[in-house]
Amino acid sequence: MANHDHDRPQIAIVTCIKNEGEDLVEWLCFHRHIGVSRFVIYDNLSTDATQRILAAVPFRDEITVRRIARSSPQKAAFADALRRFRNTLDWTAFIDADEFVVPLGDLSLSQKLAELTAAGVDGLGIHWRIFGSAGNDTRPAGLVTECFTRRSEDSFHPNQHVKSFVRLSRVRSMVTQHYFKTVGPYRMDDGCAPPQDFNGLATKASFNQGFAIHHYITKSHAQCLAKIARGRPKPDWSAKKYRSPDYWDIYNRNEVEDLRAARVIAPIREQVMALREKIGRD
């Protein structure tokens, strides 16, 4: 499913998940297809098919799984990864399991990161594109990338958030889970350095570097309601434990049709569907 050029930078993803089994096979296969060769997955005590999937995929030797039992696990997981893997991983994305790194043109991820390495750049911020339900009331049978093809306008405020690719050995500190200070330059999508007080939220979303983070934030109406009901991985006493009741109304944005991710996965679609059917998703 992937064609790795060993003369180009090794690409890894670090993520922290809980009960993401329903779309995990697709997420893994999609990112392998665009050039990711290592996954470090912190599992926050999942009770669904997550562990079975990670053990059953044919490329499981490319996946490192670590269990984490924390009420606020993501920041702790990312900090652990920075310490534990800084000398073994190179370019690394810190993203979630409902986020897909999508090339917008012909430039591959490995080519872009090789360009950045040659220029001495150690970090890149890629903006969100928030995707809505595309009219799906319940979880569709198909792939996320082919069933949820409508998104917000780029001017939608949450798209100002970035997620980071960084050279792990060159990270100085984690400011937030979205942004990391690096030894060499960190570049925003517009090519500029982030402001001194940057925390991962830019003044404007842009996509000049040729990549976007497709954030499937709601999926179907039923999936979004379940997401709201289960709350965030935070302590029960936290005021941010549960999303607001109008979360669906805010984020179910469907103004723009965007088929790019579906086109990216199209060459391996049948393989992904067959693998998902074989392993299961629940």
pLDDT of residue 150: 98
Residue ranges and CATH numbers for the domains of the chain are 11-279 (3.90.550)
179 or 241: which carries more pLDDT confidence? 179
Percent of the chain at pLDDT above 90? 88
10 Å Cβ neighbour count for 162? 24
- pLDDT tens by residue, 155-167: 999 999 999 999 9
Report the alpha-carbon distance of residue 97 to residue 18 in Å, rounded. 9
Position 282 confidence tier, pLDDT thresholds 50, 70, 90: confident
- pLDDT tens by residue, 199-254: 999 999 999 999 999 999 999 999 999 999 888 877 777 878 888 889 999 999 99
pLDDT of residue 233: 75
Exposed/middle/buried for residue 63 (C-beta within 10 Å: 0-12, 13-18, 19+): middle
Q: What is the pTM of this model?
A: 0.94
- pLDDT tens by residue, 129-155: 999 999 999 999 999 999 999 999 999
The stretch 248-271 carries a mean pLDDT of 98
